[in-house]
Structure 1
Amino acid sequence: MADDKARVQYHQLLGSGMRLSLAAVQVNVSTESSILSESPRVDILLLRREGTAWTAAQRARLPDGIRDSAAAHILVEFKYTESVTEDAILRAAAYDLFYRQVQKLSREQTLPVVLSAKTPQRSRLAEWGFEESQRGVFRTRLPFVGRVMLLALNRLPANSNNAIVKLFASRKRERDAGFASLDRQVFTESLELHAYVLGLSQTFNVKGELNMAEVLTPEKVLEYGMRVRELIFESGTPEERLAGLSPDQILEVLGPNEILAGLSPNEILAGLNSDERRALLRLLQEDMDAGGDGSPESNENS
């Protein structure tokens, strides 16, 4: 029972991170989604809201393997503290079958995925017929479980699309690589995501891995991250304070003179097209013809 509670907490944390990341690109993420009228419940369900294929924006935030599938319904069984077992593989296949029956979906519309924080033993993978089709992505042709995709977080490349899931890898260096590969531009689109990632980062730094003896919920992680953001704003460097803000958001609080004050004439001109430069030249010429060039002589003669 204790293991079940820990598993629920972990997939809720991962699911919340994926929800914050994918909400902006029209992908619904829910946790403990019921696949029957009663139990069992799949850990995480990714649902493409529209279209017959993942868009470029969605692919940029979905993990390898999943983003290469045409399926709109992704059923994720997340193993964090537990190792991948034969039962876990069979359970994922069963959930997929039940879900398709209830939702009246075809095989092409769903994809069952087992997401493993730990790296499965090669001997077990060979026993189950799983082969690595791309780094960190394993598939098998064995009957009954051939539809199940296995993702090993420690082996997934540290690319920005894998960053959110790699935050939950069992190896510290892989988690660190996940944090380092996060697309900072995404943070400018979601204050919550930025705070959530900060909260996870600080939690891992303090505990090494999430300690489920303390009830840690997505809400607490987000609250922790918000506090970290406040501390950074109060005592951080200018770069740290501006993290998570888009250029437009930064410029909103600056007046025209403040924006231009830090730019050289060449930098100002570099931002103008040919028509704008000609217009500026015309205005300057008119100003000079009117004796308003700002020189001491013109001021004395005025």
Structure 2
Amino acid sequence: MSQSQADDERPEDSSLENNTVSQTSHILFGCMMKEPLTPLNLEVESDYEVGKGPPKLDVLIIRRTGARWSKTQLEFLPDGIRQSNCKHVILELKYTESINKTAIFQTIGYLGSYLRLKQFKPENVCAFIVSSKSPQKKMLNQIGFEQTDIKGIYRSRDCLLSNIQLISLNDLSDAPYNLWIKLFSSKINQRLSVLKRILAFDLKKLNKGLVSILVKILNFWNIIGEISMQRIQKDILYESGGISDEVAGWFLSLFKPEDRLRGLKPEDRLHGLKPEDRLNGLDLKIIEDYLQKQRKMKR
């Protein structure tokens, strides 16, 4: 793999393919969809129960009461969903998994369970597989999915799968209504580009809860080793011609100091500090012991 490829793709590391990362990504994805849509007269539900108890559907469900999506709702609904007429939308995020036949069968099961439970007609409900990774052409051919006239949206030729669509986050356009969901794409450079565009908004006017979730998403990237806070600061916040220093400073103030410093080498954490600032807060005995040790080493 070339360096440019390595910089642009989520690492194919086994440590990422675990339940913790998958579960956390689902929680953040659900929060990211709920926060802006719930105040807009849309019901958004995660961990949907099939019946009176377990099992639960590991999906997100958006319910609309109006005849069509409103203008304000469309500001946060990505391609695929925004063109749908269904009043009930099932979203299944595939963050660490690739699209395959098993994923399609699983979504069919979710869709069937929901239709049976609610006793709806099929035309009232549609399901979207939201794929973080780009689907392979060979697999798309095997499952019979084709690119629609909307970038990043795939549909099946099979009438039995007509209620299921595939959203490839890496391939969606950069339209403003696609930006938030593209934070879950697998391509690192694309996520950084999306983040830069989001930060160009007047974040202080955005829903505070949504900004808080954005901070959690960035911390998630940092913790699992996908994108460090140092790279975000270097490539986004303090890049020449990027966002203003005022916005950069305000945004960084939303993070805990330990989150901003996570991953830095000790010497990098102290970079830019005056000598007296580096020593400030240290016990005098610690300083004296250190100096004595250094003197012995120089003899």
The bucket for the TM-score relative to the shorter chain is 0.5 to 0.7
Match of residue 172 from structure 2: 156
Aligned pair 1:171/2:224, yes or no?
no
Whether the aligned pair in 2 keeps the contact of 1:28 and 1:47 (CA below 8 Å) is: yes
Matched, 1:30 2:45: yes
Give the partner amino acid of 2:181. Answer: V
Task: Tell me how far apart the structure 1 counterparts of residues 182 and 132 of structure 2 sit (CA, whole Å).
Answer: 8
| Equivalent runs, 1:227-266 vs 2, <5 Å | 237-240=245-248
Determine whether 1:118 maps to 2:133.
Answer: yes
Match of 2:57 among 41, 63, 81: 41
- Is the alpha carbon distance of 1:240 and 1:186 closer, same or farther for their aligned partners in structure 2, counting shifts above 3 Å? closer
Counting only pairs closer than 5 Å after superposition, residues 9-158 of structure 1 correspond to structure 2 as 9-37=24-52, 38-48=54-64, 50-133=65-148, 134-158=150-174
Aligned residue for 2:46, secondary structure, equals strand
CA contact (8 A) 1:158 1:181 kept: no
Tell me the matched-pair count: 217
Residues 99 and 178 of structure 1: is their aligned pair in 2 closer, same or farther, counting only changes over 3 Å? Answer: same
What code does the residue aligned with 1:94 have? G
- The answer to whether the aligner puts 1:194 opposite 2:211 as a matched pair is yes
Stretches (4+) displaced over 3 A: 2-6, 35-38, 205-208, 236-243
Mapping of 1:191-230 within 5 angstroms?
Answer: 191-205=208-222, 207-209=224-226
Deviation (angstroms), 1:75: 0.9
C-alpha displacement of 1:192: 1.6
The code of the aligned residue for 1:80 comes to Y
SS in 2 for 1:29: strand
Looking at both structures, which has the greater relative contact order when contacts are Cα pairs under 8 Å and sequence separation is at least 6? 2
Q: Deviations over 1:115-163 (max 9, x none)?
A: 1101110110011111111111000021432321100111011222111
Tell me, in whole angstroms, the C-alpha distance in 2 between the residues paired with 1:174 and 1:18: 20
Pick the structure with greater CA Rg.
1
For 1:69 and 1:185, how far apart are their aligned partners in 2?
29
Amino acid at match of 2:165: M
TM-score by length of 2: 0.66
Distance in 2, matches of 1:111 and 1:44, equals 12
Give distance in 2, aligned partners of 1:140 and 1:113. 12
Q: Please list every run of 5 or more consecutive structure 1 residues that lacks an aligned counterpart in the other structure.
A: 212-235, 244-302
SS at match of 1:144: helix
Q: Residues 59 and 91 of structure 2 are in contact (CA less than 8 Å); yes or no, is this contact kept in structure 1?
A: yes
* Letter matched to residue 125 of structure 1: L
> Would the aligned equivalents of 2:88 and 2:124 in 1 still touch at CA under 8 Å?
yes
Change (3 A) 1:185 1:239: closer
- CA shift for structure 1 position 190: 1.1
> Does the residue aligned with 1:167 lie in a helix, a strand or coil?
helix
Aligned equivalents of 2:219, 2:80: Cα separation in 1:
29
TM-score (norm 1): 0.65
% identity of equivalent residues: 25
Please state how far the C-alpha of 1:84 moved relative to its aligned partner.
Answer: 1.2
Residue pair 2:132, 2:186 contacting (<8 A) in 1 also? yes
Structure 2's unaligned 5+ residue stretches are 1-16, 229-243, 252-299
Q: What displacement does 1:52 show?
A: 1.4
1:181 to 1:68, Cα distance in 2 relative to 1, 3 A: farther
Distance across 2 between alignment mates of 1:40 and 1:144: 24
1:190-240 Cα shifts (integer Å, max 9, x gaps): 1121122133234425654389xxxxxxxxxxxxxxxxxxxxxxxx94445
Change over 3 Å in CA distance of 1:56–1:196 after alignment to 2:
same
| Secondary structure in 1 matching 2:179 | helix
1:11-54 deviation digits (Å, cap 9, x = unpaired): 11111111112223222222211234431413211122x20111
Distance verdict in 2 for CA 1:139–1:3, change over 3 Å = same
